[in-house]
A and B are shown apart, each in its own frame.
Chain A
Amino acid sequence: MGFYIVQFLTGLSSASALFLVASGLSIIFGVTRIVNFTHGSFYMLGAFIAYSLVGVLDGFFGFWISVILSAMAVGLIAVLMEMLILRRIYQAPELFQLVATFGPILIIQDLALDIWGPEDLFGASAPGMDGAITIMGTPMPEYDLALIALSAVVLGGLWLLFNKTRWGTLVRAATEDRDMISALGVNQKWLFTGVFFLGSFLAALGGAAQVPKGGASLIMDFEILAPIFVVVVIGGMGSIPGAFMAALLISELNVFGILVWPESTLVLMFLVMAVVLILRPWGLFGKPEAPGQHGQVGAPEQPYRPLSRKANTLFAAVLGLLLVLPVFASDFSLVLVMDMVVLSLFAASIHFLMGPGGMVSFGHAAYFGGGAYAVALITSHFELPMEVAFFMGPLGACALALLFGWFCVRRSGVYLAMLTLAFAQVAWSVVFQWGELTGGDDGIIGIWPSPWLGSKAAYYYFTLFFGVGGIMVLRRTLFTPFGYAMRACRDSALRSASIGIDVNRQQWLAFAFSGALAGLAGSLFVYSKGSIFPDEMSLARSFDGLIMVLLGGVKTLAGPVAGASAFTWLDDVISRLDYWRVILGSLIILIVLAFPQGIAGFFRERFGVWFGQETDT
Chain B
Amino acid sequence: MSTSAEFIWDHIMLKVSGIHSYYGRAHILSEISLEVGRGEILALLGRNGAGKSTTMKSIIGLVPPAKGTIEFLGENIQGMPPFMIARKGLGYVPEDRRIFAALSILENLEVGRQPERQGAPYWTLERLFDLFPNLAELRDRPGGHISGGEQQMLTIARTLMGNPSAILLDEPSEGLAPVIVEKMIETIMTLKSEGLSVILSEQNLSFASYVADRATIIEKGQIRYEGTIDELQKNPDVRNAYLSV
Which of B8-16, B43-51, B82-90, B208-216 is the interface stretch?
B82-90
Cβ-closest chain B residue relative to A172: B103
Complex interface: chain B residues within 8 A of A177 (CB): 98, 100
Partner of B82, one of A172, A183, A287: A183
Closest to A163 in B: B107
> Does chain B have a CB within 8 A of A170?
yes
Does chain B have a CB within 8 A of A188? yes
B120 at the interface (CB under 8 A from A): no
User: A188–B84 Cα gap in the complex (Å)?
Assistant: 11
Flag if B82 contacts A179 (CB, 8 Å): yes
Pairwise interchain contact A185-B26, C-beta atoms closer than 8 A: no
Residues of chain B within 8 A (CB-CB) of A173 are: 100, 103, 107-108, 111
Decide if A187 touches B83 in the complex (CB within 8 Å): yes
B20 lies within 8 A of chain A by Cβ: no
Quick check: A180 and B94 within 8 Å, CB to CB?
yes
Residues 567-611 of A at the B interface (beta carbon under 8 Å): none
Contacts of A172 in B (CB 8 A): 100, 102-103, 107
User: B162 at the A/B interface (Cβ < 8 Å)?
Assistant: yes
**Cβ of B107: which chain A residues have Cβ within 8 Å of it?**
169, 172-173
A455 contacts the other chain (CB 8 A): no
Q: Does B92 contact A (CB under 8 A)?
A: yes
Question: Residues of A contacting B26 with CB < 8 Å?
Answer: 617
- A176 interface neighbour in B23, B82, B83, B100, Cβ under 8 Å: B100
State the majority secondary structure of interface residues on A: helix
* Contacting residue for B101 out of A166, A176, A183, A298, CB 8 A: A176
Give the Cβ gap from A441 to chain B, nearest Cβ, in Å: 46
Interchain CB contact under 8 A, A176 and B114: no
Q: Please state if A184 and B112 are interface contacts (CB–CB under 8 Å).
A: yes
Chain A interface residue count, CB cutoff 8 Å, equals: 23
Contact B98 A180 (CB under 8 A): yes
Q: B175 an interface residue at 8 Å Cβ cutoff? A: no
Give the residues from 171 to 223 in chain A that come closer than 8 angstroms, CB to CB, to chain B. 172-173, 175-177, 179-189
A177 to B111, CA, bound (A): 12
Cβ A188 vs Cβ B83 within 8 A: yes
From B112, which residue of chain A is reached at the shortest CB distance?
Answer: A184
The distance in angstroms between the C-alpha atoms of A187 and B83, with both chains bound, is 6
The residues of A that contact B111 with a CB separation of less than 8 Å are 169-170, 173, 181, 184, 186
In the complex, are the beta carbons of B101 and A182 less than 8 A apart? no
Does chain A have a CB within 8 A of B223?
Answer: no
Interface residue? B24 (CB, 8 A): yes
Point out the residues of chain B lying under 8 angstroms from A186, CB to CB: 83, 111
Whether the Cβ atoms of B100 and A183 lie closer than 8 Å is no
Whether the Cβ atoms of B110 and A184 lie closer than 8 Å is no
How close is A596's CB to chain B, nearest CB, in angstroms?
12
Given A299-B24, A617-B25, A617-B26: A183 and B86 interface contact (C-beta under 8 Å): yes
Please tell me if B60 contacts chain A, counting CB pairs below 8 Å: yes
Q: Which residues of A contact B87 (CB under 8 A)?
A: 185
Question: How many angstroms from the CA of A181 to the CA of B110 in the assembled complex?
Answer: 11
Q: Is the CB of B162 within 8 A of A182?
A: no
B108 nearest CB neighbor, chain A only = A173
Contact for B102 among A170, A176, A179, CB less than 8 A:
A176
Residues of B within 8 A of A298 (CB): 24
Residues of B within 8 A of A183 (CB): 60-62, 82-83, 86, 92, 94
Any A CB within 8 A of the CB of B81: yes
Per the bound structure, the CA–CA distance linking A298 and B94 in Å amounts to 20
Cβ contact of B162, chosen from A169, A175, A184, A287, cutoff 8 A:
A184
- Cα–Cα distance between A40 and B232 once the two chains are bound (Å): 63
Q: Decide yes or no whether B53 CB sits under 8 A from chain A.
A: no
Residues of B within 8 A of A169 (CB): 103, 107, 110-111
* Contact assessment for A179 and B62 in the assembled complex, using a CB-CB cutoff below 8 Å: yes
Complex Cα gap A224–B177 (Å): 52
Q: How far is B60's CA from A185's CA once the two chains are assembled, in angstroms?
A: 10
Query: Given the interface contacts A172-B102, A172-B103, A299-B24, does A185 sit within 8 Å of B110 by beta carbon?
Result: no
B81 near A182 with CB under 8 A, answer yes
Interface contact A184-B24, CB-CB below 8 Å: no
Interface string of B15-53 (1 = CB under 8 A from A): 000000001111000000000000000000000000000
6 closest A-B pairs (Cβ-Cβ)?
Answer: A185-B86, A182-B82, A173-B111, A180-B98, A183-B92, A173-B100
What are 11 A-to-B residue pairs whose CB atoms are below 8 Å? A169-B103, A169-B107, A169-B111, A172-B102, A173-B111, A176-B100, A176-B103, A182-B81, A183-B62, A188-B83, A299-B24
Extra A-B contacts (13), CB below 8 Å, given A182-B86, A183-B82: A166-B113, A173-B107, A173-B108, A177-B98, A183-B62, A183-B94, A184-B92, A184-B158, A185-B112, A186-B83, A188-B83, A189-B81, A287-B102
